[in-house]
Every structure is written in structure tokens, then in C-alpha cells.
Chains A and B, each alone.
Chain A
Amino acid sequence: MSPSHLLEVRDLHTHFATQDGLVQAVNGVSLYIDPGESLGIVGESGGGKSVTALSIMGLIPAPGRVVAGEVEFDGRDLLRLSEDERRHIRGNEIAIIFQDPMSYLNPVMTVGRQISEGLRLHKGMGRRAAHARAIDLMKLLGVPDATSGVDKYPHQFSGGMRQRVMIAMALSCEPKLLIADEPTTALDVTVGAQILELLQRLRSDLGMALVLITHDLGIVAGTVDRVNVMYAGQIAETASVDQTFADPRHPYTLGLLASVPRLDAPRGARLQPIPGVPPDLIDPLSGCPFFPRCPYSVERCVAVDPPLELVAPTHWTACWVDTGTAPRHVPGVAPVVSPEAQAEALSSMGDGL
């Protein structure tokens, strides 16, 4: 750990006590982000991306709870602060935007009031000054007719414009860190491209750090400096964006990259899906959570969960196997895996190969 990190999360565990059992949504996540840096968190649903973000924000809804870990932001451990102190940081120093602006914006409040709310609360601005600032922010974000738009309600805007309004709210207090949780997933392709372009421009203009959470590897490739790949509530691999795509080491990262069709790939090649289904977080297997779907798994994977280890400068991966040299096999049924583990793996595979 170096003192330059803006945010450092250490061994975070967030669990949800549901009727069906304890869901271990985040299970020992450590990550950091430096001032002005952009970090991508990728993975599938259930990987723990959003829960990590909400844990950082202190917004975990009941029955969820951060049960262990530290979230150090600018020298303070957020998890040790009182709710009042956290509220002062949330929306002020760390802001978050979500996938669906409509469930985030208040439908019976003008967007201007919603944007100025944070300014009045955190910056002590007067009503008029905050209103004027809201108009400036909407202009900055390219909302047409900001002067009249500021008095409109969310339903009077299109999806892309609502997303801009939400970003305006998030940026109103000039946060040091913006967390964007699937900011373009609900948007059309061309509008999503506008929003990504905008986020990148704002990040460099305002010098804020950005955590971009997405399931889309393409978005990560063109937008961030560093990538964390998450699987089953853990970090599977973390590296610079170039290393992630040029030299992926974790079998899950390799699997994700091989399973998406690329615009520049030769046509006609079959995709290589990751077999099986994402894991059950209520009753996790011992060992590496990916082994039932992993074409490289060895006996050790079944017994012991691999820790993140440095494999190259700025490149960590949580895997026992060197995927560059190890042989591939049908997941879970390799002869090196014990018969009991095979049976367990096969029964939990569900979807066909």
C-alpha cells in the first residue's frame, strides 16, 4: 500500500442474509485506485461488481452487510465513520451513477432541484446560486436548452439525456472519485458511445478518478487504465488494460475474451463459450470458485482457493496454473481431478458444454 492511493479496499466481505441462506456476494476483494486514474471492473452478473461499488459508497441495502474489510479513502477508513460523516463524503467526494437513471431520479422533482440538492447540502450554496450552477452543469453535459430544461421533470427527457442529468448530479460537487455502474447498458449503441466519450472527457478535464463497472470487455478496452476481473465475489485478475487484453492469465479472463464475437475477428469462426453456469454464492464450493468451468483445473484447485499473486509488473492473478503452458481439458472431468470432485463439478454444471 502506498500513501498515494485515493481509495484502497482491503479484504472486503459483503454478505446478504436471505431466506435461502447467506449470499457471499463479495468475498475478500482488495483493490485500489489512484487520483485521476480510471479502473475498470468487469465480470458477469453475480460477480460482485455492483456490491463492491455499493459497499464503497456505504449503500448496501438490508439484508446486506459489510461484514469485514477496510475501505480507506483519502486517509480515512469509511467503514469506521458514523453515518453522518459518511453522508458528508457520499455525493460530495465520492459519487456514483447507475445503469437505470429512471430508478435513481425522483420523478416528482425537477431535475434542477435534484442537481442542486447536493450543492446546497454539501457546499452550502444558496438556492439561486445552486440553480445557476445546475444550469451550467447541464450545459457542460450537453443537455440542449439547459436554461428551460432545468425546470423539467425526469420523464420529459430521453434515456440518454436522463443519464446526462444523473451524471450532472454526480459531478455537481466535483467528486474526487466517480463510480459508474454499467452507465451505458440501458442506452442505445450510439447514445452509449456519447456517454462514454463524455465520461472520458470529464475525467481528464476535472482530474477525477473513475471506476467503470461493466460486463462489456469492449467498453473497458477503450476507456480505462487498469482492469479488475471479478468472478464469484473475488478478484480473479488485475492488470493494466494492455496486459489484460494482450497477456491475459486467468482462465476466466481467457474464457471471457474467447466467448465474445469481435467486430474485427474473421467471420465464420465458432465462439468458445465458457461451459457451465456462474456459481452459487450461497453454497460456494471449496477451492477456486471457477474450477467447475475451468479447462485448466488441477487437483489443487478443488482443495485450495488460489490467492492473487504477482505474475508480471502491475499484473496479479489468482490461479494455481500457468495458463500459458498448462494443457487444456474438458472442464471438471480431467483425470487429474479426483472422482468426487468430478462428480460434484459435473452435477453443478447444469448447462451443456
Chain B
Amino acid sequence: MISGTSAPAPVASPHGDEILRVEHLKVYFPVRRGVLQRRVGWVHAVDDVSFNVRRGETLGLVGESGCGKSTTARAIPYLIRPTAGSVHFEDIELGHARPRDLVRVRRQMQIIFQDPNASLDFRMTVGSSIAEGLDIHHLGDRDQRRHRVSELLEVVGLDPAMAGRFPHEFSGGQRQRIGIARALALSPSLVVCDEPISALDVSIQAQVINLLQELQERFRLTYLFISHDLSVVRHISDRIAVMYLGKVVELSPARELYDEPRHPYTVALLSAVRIPDPSVESRRRRVILTGDVPSPADPPRGCRFHPRCWLRERLGSPIRCAEEEPALRPISDGHTTACHYAEQVAGLSAELHLTGQGSTDESLPILPPVELSTN
């Protein structure tokens, strides 16, 4: 049977209890070459990533292309089988789940993809696309499914009469709404949003962000929200994990991440975001990274960020960064970072006017010299 007005998931306290736990997740892809397709190496797409998601919250996952955020999104419901590590959804460990349990978990866990053109079958009416999950899981009879499709179209702000139309008859924003309706069809408790607005026009992005927020409140959804856009992630997330080259380098409550970033990569990312206000922009100081993101097939030794790290340069290129991989360590309550010299980053956000706030002293040097800690 289909649940009535689709209130999903058992009722629970809005925070505190975790719905998803990812531990030491690794996803390696083989690099093959030659006629015999011999394996010549591994792409370390996701390399030892751990985090948890609490029921009802939005965890943002940010990073640049190739950092492993989308691979993480696909490994969580085991759409890609992880090379190592574990994914716990509620009380089930997916790697050792019985097939029946895995099916149940996947009903509870849905993905919204970036490109609604690619995720909708152009030969299927949007109604059958939305109902596909119900078919697969043998939920409801024909009438109930049709009713559910109408209900879902209405929930995402579309006319239920449009169920018989095909994807090409809709605009990009409308197609993304259909993608959202499809994800909601099975009343999931966790929705993984993989760059859900990146393919949309600016004015339409806000419509979809607002819709996602409304749906979260209405159906008590938990979101894992993946994006490269720090302004959007800040807007929607309760906590944020920053990824770089397959690793989480910083994880913190959203406000703290922006006010007090403690990883030099986070600082650089924040400073690269432009604020649509010239008076604010003229005050901000930028940290421009040199070079590109290295290949995940051959990640740098030690800290993966060290070849591009502006902080390391200021500290006189300590050898430790090139040799010893920093572990995620707690900086304050709920805020962890993977940098040997995270203490040196403290206070920089305000000085650089990273978020446009802080003192308005124009005489500050571009990057104040940082002193080495004595320990």
C-alpha cells in the first residue's frame, strides 16, 4: 500500500539521532590500458571518507570537480559498490544487508540528479517516470499509482493534468521538479541531492531551492546536498563537509565553517566565491591558489592539498605536510579539520573579509604573516 499523504519515516526527534553513517568509505576505479586491458593503477575517487547524517538535517557536501562528492553520492545507496568501508542506514549495514533489506533501504533513500534531461527517459510520459519506482516496488494498484502521481505533481508545483506529457514538453526547471517528484514517490526519508540546481537558470534555481526546503519541512526529509556552489550550500545546509581529492578536509556546522574556517583549502574556496555587491567585493582580500587540482589517480603524498597550499608556503614549507597525512581532528564542538596547522588559520576569515563581514580596516596587508606555533 501507498502511504496516504506521504508522511514518511518514523517520527523522531529532529536532531541527534543519525540516519546515515558512512565509515572509512573508499571507492577506487581501476585504470586499464593496452589490448589486454591490464590494470595499471587506481583512481582514488573517494579515499577514506567518514561522516554521519542526522535525521531531519541537511548535510552539505562541497568541493570541486573530481573531489569525489558525486561518487560518494552514488556509493551510499550502493549504486557503485565501495572498495572498502561501510554505509549504515538506520540499523542496516548495506555491505552485508540481505537483498530484501537492501531493496527496503533503497526505497528509503532516493537521489535527485543534476541533469533532469539525462535522468528522465524521453520516451516515457512523466507520469510513468514518476510511477516507475512504485511499479518496481509493487506498490499500489493502477488507480492508486495514478492518484499518487497527481498528488506528487501537485506537491512539486506542477499541474496534475500534465502527467500524460513527455519530458521535452517541459522547461528545465519543470523537469527538475519532475525529478524531485520521482524521488519523492516512494516516501523516502533520505534524499541525496547531487547538484540539483547546477543545470538551471539563475532565476529558476531559487524556485527549486525553495521547493526543496518546503518539502523538507513538510515531509521531514533528510538531505545530503551536494554542490560546488558555496553560497547555495551555505544557504541550505545545517552542517557542511568540504571535500578535496577524495577526502573530507573539514566538517563543521554551517555558520562556523563560514565564520571560522580552519582548513586553508576552505579559506581559498570561500575567498574564490564572489559576492554580488561591489562595495563588499572591494573590501575582500582573495587567496588565489596556484595550479590545478591534481589527478586522483596519483594524489600527492602527505597532505593532498600541500602542493597548492598557501598556508604551507607562509609557514616556510614545513616538511610535515609533504610526509604526514593529516587526520580529521576536532577543533571545537562539532568542527573537525584535517590540517596540521589549523590553529594558524584562526581569525583569518575576518581579516580577509571572506564573508564580507569583519573589520573594515582597509590598511590590512593581503595576507597577514602567520607565526609558526611552538609545539
User: Interface on A for B, CB 8 Å cutoff?
Assistant: 44-45, 144, 158-161, 188-194, 197, 215-222, 241-242, 245-246, 255-257, 259-265, 267, 270-275, 277-278, 293, 350-353
A197 lies within 8 A of B286 (CB): yes
Q: Is the beta-carbon distance between B288 and A194 smaller than 8 angstroms?
A: yes
Nearest A-chain residue to B308, judged by Cβ: A190
Instruction: Give the residue of A45, A160, A222, A275 whose beta carbon is less than 8 angstroms from that of B281.
Output: A222
Q: In the bound complex, how far is the Cα of B278 from the Cα of A75, in angstroms?
A: 33
A114 to chain B, nearest CB (A): 20
Distance to closest chain B CB from A31 (angstroms)? 20
**Cα-based distance from A270 to B217 in the complex (angstroms):** 13
Contact with A158, one of B171, B271, B292 (Cβ below 8 angstroms): B292
State A172–B353 Cα separation when bound (angstroms). Answer: 36
Chain B's interface size range is 35 or more
Cβ of A274 and Cβ of B203 under 8 Å apart?
yes
* Smallest CB separation, A44 vs chain B (Å): 4
Q: B280 to nearest A CB, angstroms?
A: 6
Nearest Cβ on chain A to B168's Cβ, whole angstroms: 12
* Interchain CB contact under 8 A, A263 and B209: no
Which residues of chain B come closer than 8 Å to A191, judged between CB atoms?
64, 292-293
Bound CA span A260–B274, Å: 12
Contact B272 A259 (CB under 8 A): no
Given contacts A161-B292, A190-B268, A190-B289, contact A260 B204 (CB under 8 A): no
A271 near B209 with CB under 8 A, answer yes
With A and B bound together, what is the CA distance between A342 and B236 in angstroms?
A: 34
In contact, B232 and A261 (Cβ under 8 angstroms): yes
Check B157 against A259 for contact (C-beta < 8 Å): no
Q: Tell me, rounded to whole Å, the shortest Cβ–Cβ distance linking B114 to chain A.
A: 14
Partner of A189, one of B64, B279, B281, B282: B64
B201 at the interface (CB under 8 A from A): yes
Q: How far does the alpha carbon of A275 sit from the alpha carbon of B255 in the complex, in Å?
A: 29
Select one of B202, B207, B290 contacting A260, CB under 8 A.
B202
18 contacts between A and B (CB under 8 A): A158-B292, A159-B292, A188-B64, A188-B292, A189-B230, A190-B268, A191-B293, A197-B288, A215-B202, A218-B274, A222-B284, A260-B231, A263-B231, A263-B258, A264-B275, A273-B209, A273-B210, A350-B174
Asked if B85 is an interface residue, CB under 8 A from chain A, the answer is: no
> Is A351's CB under 8 angstroms from B275's CB?
no
Q: Which of A260, A263, A273, A277 contacts B356 (CB 8 A)?
A: A263
Q: Which B residues are CB-close (under 8 A) to A220?
A: 276
With a cutoff of 8 Å between Cβ atoms, the chain B residues found around residue A221 in the complex are 274-278, 280-281
On chain A, the residues within 8 Å of B254 by CB distance are 267
Closest residue of A by beta carbon distance from B280: A264
**Complexed CA–CA distance, A261 and B213 (Å):** 14
Question: Within 8 Å of chain A (Cβ to Cβ): is B27?
Answer: no
B357 within 8 A of A: yes
Q: Is the CB of B204 within 8 A of A218?
A: no
Question: Do A218 and B269 touch across chains, with their CB atoms under 8 A apart?
Answer: no
- Judge whether B74 is part of the interface by a CB distance below 8 angstroms: no
Does A262 contact B206, Cβ atoms closer than 8 Å?
no
A307 to B281, CA, bound (A): 31
Residues of B within 8 A of A159 (CB): 292
Which of chain B's residues has its CB closest to A242's CB? B278
In contact, B64 and A352 (Cβ under 8 angstroms): no
One digit per residue, 1 when the CB lies within 8 angstroms of any chain A CB and 0 when it does not, for chain B 235-277 equals: 1100000000000000000110010000000001111111111
Q: Verify B171–A262 contact, CB threshold 8 A.
A: no
Closest to B356 in A: A264
* A189: B residues at CB distance < 8 A: 64, 228, 230, 269, 272-273
Question: Most chain-B Cβ atoms within 10 A of its Cβ — which of A45, A189, A193, A245?
Answer: A189
Closest residue on chain B to residue A265 by CB atoms: B235
Point out the residues of chain A lying under 8 angstroms from B177, CB to CB. Answer: 351
Q: Taking CB as reference atom, which chain A residue is nearest B258?
A: A263
- Smallest Cβ distance from A97 to chain B, in angstroms? 18
Q: Taking the complex as formed, is B106 at the interface, i.e. its CB lies under 8 A from any CB of chain A?
A: no
What is the distance, in angstroms, from B309's C-beta to the closest C-beta of chain A?
Answer: 12
CB distance from A186 to the nearest CB of B (A): 10
CA distance A278 to B343 in the complex (A): 48
